[in-house]
Amino acid sequence: MPRNDTFEPAEIGQLYNSHHAWLRGWLWARVGCREHAADLAQDTFVRLLRARDVSPLKEPRAYLSSIARGLMIDQFRRRALERAYQQSLADLPEREAPSEEQRLLILDTLERLDRALHQLRPRAREAFLLAQLDGLSLARIAERLEVSRVTVERDLAKALAACYRVHYAEC
């Protein structure tokens, strides 16, 4: 379908007309909410409009469902982060709770950090979480992951670099 490295608007229109109703139904069966399914289906086609390096589609439904599945996972992780954040706020005295603007900025940063950490190898992500959340030393992390201390240092450096990029991407 695409001729270059991106989809043409007419090709997106054709895909939309041919598969939007199917995708919405497919999503509805998985999320259990028509409105949520409609939003995810729309987001799937928006993602297609932004796609790069696209080869001709032999199985458009498989391609669309793959994009939609990724969006569902992103949304699930985003909601889990928000629930965890809301729980931590519930434990704060009311006068210390952040403003709505601060809350949205914090949630956005958490989402971007989560995405960055999920792009790392699982061991690097786990090493980072053990260091940051559990406060384990390099030696304890190495022992727990059954790797050398140097490996843990490299993994932590990669994770910290990912966090640095998230932080300074705004500047």
Q: Does domain 98-171 have CATH number 1.10.10.10?
A: yes
Q: How confident is the model at residue 47 (pLDDT cuts 50, 70, 90)?
A: confident
Structure tokens at 24: 């919405």
* pLDDT tens sequence across 111-136: 888 888 888 899 999 999 899 888 89
- For 6-34, the pLDDT digits (tens) are 566 677 788 889 899 999 999 999 888 89
Q: Cα 112–163–107 angle (5° rounding)?
A: 30
At residue 3, the pLDDT reads 42
Coil, strand or helix at 34: helix
pTM over 0.75: no
Q: Where in the chain is the domain with CATH 1.10.10.10?
A: 98-171
Of 162, 161, 139, residue with least CA distance to 151: 139
Contacts of 106 (CB under 8 A, 6+ apart): 85, 98
